Structure 1
């Protein structure tokens, strides 16, 4: 930090920001200067209801999908444990560790 007063001068040289302003334009213009950009769409109450309904349906479907995937994962673990328990030859160290882990998770 060769010149700490440089930081203070930098801060003092900035334009003042009115934090109470209803126009939150602190980071510059957010309106595109490009021609052909459409104005922001105004959503109606009906549009809002349709969007909320679609979101709720999507959320419900996601919950169902997560339940199905959880069930599939449990079945897969059960099958793996069944194969390890049914093995007649001695288990490797990794297989023994996996078997004990699966058994402890199921209890």
Structure 2
């Protein structure tokens, strides 16, 4: 069963258009790497009461938030990416947009799958 490699981004308003253009190119490069199946970019929206704790940080209110889900074949594919490519792929964004965005990452491992 495939896994999701999730990247949560917070982008300063001043660079968001340029950053998003770069991000789409970056995703294209990621999808050329071994083990990546597809990517979906999300614009997270608050549901009343659900993201309230984040509102305590003024910086987050001003930043554009974007979530990218990379679907990968399996944990082995993720390990391969992390060992061989992650550092250089991350360095490109940091070099282009120093201290203008933040990224956190996590892996979503499926417990079960349901379908109607």
Q: Same fold (TM over 0.5)?
A: no
Larger C-alpha radius of gyration, 1 or 2?
A: 1
User: Which protein is richer in helix relative to its size?
Assistant: 1
- For the aligned pair, the TM-score class normalised by the smaller chain equals under 0.3
User: Which protein is richer in strand relative to its size?
Assistant: 2
Query: Please, what TM-score do these two structures have when normalized by structure 1?
Result: 0.22
Greater length-normalized contact order (CA 8 Å, ≥ 6 residues apart): 2
